[in-house]
Amino acid sequence: METLLEIRDLTKMFDLHHLGKQIRAISHVDIQLKEGEFVGITGKSGSGKSTILKCIYGTYRIQQGSIWYHSKTLGRINLAEATDRELLYLRKHEIGYVSQFLNVMPRTTARQLVKQAILEMGDDCELAEKETEKILAHFELDRELWDSYPTTFSGGEKLRLNIARAMVKKPRLLLLDEPTASLDYDSKMKVKELIEQLMKEGTTMLGIFHDLEFMNHLCDHEYNMQNGSFSHSTNFTTP
C-alpha cells in the first residue's frame, strides 16, 4: 500500500497575546497513513488531538515539521507549505473534515448543502439529486427538513447533516474530529455503517472518537496522545 499522508516532527505553538506567552499544543508528532487505512487518535482532553487534524486541513499553520500528502492531481505536496489556492482545491476535491459543529452558508437548505458538495466533485445534476436524497434518508433526516435551513435544526439533526455532507463526497482522505460526540446510539451506528462503506471503497481516515469501543472496532492503528506527543501506539492489524 502506498503512503497517503506522512507527518514528520509536527510542532504547533499558539500565541496567547493577552498573557504575553506561547503554549506548545503539539510537539514532534510523526504519523504515517497508508492508502485505505483507518487510524485513530486517542488521549485526554487538551492533549492536542484536534490540533493535529486542523494542521493537516490547513486551518492552523505550523511552526515546525512537514505534512506530506500524496494528491491525485497535485502530486506529492507539503500541506504545511501549500498555498491557499492549493488547500482550497484539496478541500473541495480530496480532503474532507467533519467535526461536531456545522458551518453553513445562510439561507442554504439541507438539500442544497449536500447537493453542492456532490456537484463540487464533478457529478452531474441528476445523479447529485439522487445521491442527496439517498444520504439524507440514510441519516433519517425528516423529509420535511430537507428544504429547510439548518440554522433552525436541533443539535443532532445538524450533526447528521454535517456528516452526510462530508461523507457523500467520498474524499480520498477524511479527517473525523469527534463527529459522533453527541449522537444517540442509532445515529452512531448509521455513521459506523457509512465509515465501513467508505473503508471498502478505499477512503483513508484519521479520526478522533471519545467512544473508544466504537473506534477500536474500526481502526487499523491507534496513536495515544499525552501532553502534545504520542505516548504509545497500537497496531490492530498485526497478530
Ligand X SMILES: Nc1ncnc2c1ncn2[C@@H]1O[C@H](COP(=O)(O)OP(=O)(O)OP(=O)(O)O)[C@@H](O)[C@H]1O
Enumerate binding residues for ligand X (CB under 6 A): 14, 25, 43, 45-51
Backbone angles phi, psi at 59, to 5 degrees: -70, -40
How far from chain centre, in Å, is Cα 4? 15
Among candidates 162, 121, 124, which has minimal Cα distance to 141?
A: 162
Provide the minimum distance between the beta carbon of 43 and ligand X in the complex, in angstroms, as a whole number: 6
Provide the minimum distance between the beta carbon of 174 and ligand X in the complex, in angstroms, as a whole number: 17
Cβ distance to ligand X smaller for residue 42 or 132: 42
Cβ distance to ligand X smaller for residue 135 or 191: 191
Run of H or E including 44: none
Helices (H), the chain: 49-57, 84-93, 110-120, 125-138, 155-167, 185-200, 212-216
Cβ distance to ligand X smaller for residue 101 or 156: 101
Would you say 205 and 198 are in contact if contact means Cβ atoms under 8 Å apart?
yes
Backbone angles phi, psi at 52, to 5 degrees: -60, -50
Residue 191 is which amino acid? V
Cβ distance to ligand X smaller for residue 36 or 43: 43
Provide the minimum distance between the beta carbon of 68 and ligand X in the complex, in angstroms, as a whole number: 21
Provide the minimum distance between the beta carbon of 14 and ligand X in the complex, in angstroms, as a whole number: 4
Cβ distance to ligand X smaller for residue 25 or 219: 25
C-alpha cell at 25: 499544543
Q: Report the C-alpha gap between 45 and 181 in whole angstroms.
A: 13
Provide the minimum distance between the beta carbon of 172 and ligand X in the complex, in angstroms, as a whole number: 23
Would you say 69 and 62 are in contact if contact means Cβ atoms under 8 Å apart?
no
Provide the minimum distance between the beta carbon of 46 and ligand X in the complex, in angstroms, as a whole number: 4
Q: Report the C-alpha gap between 34 and 38 in whole angstroms.
A: 9
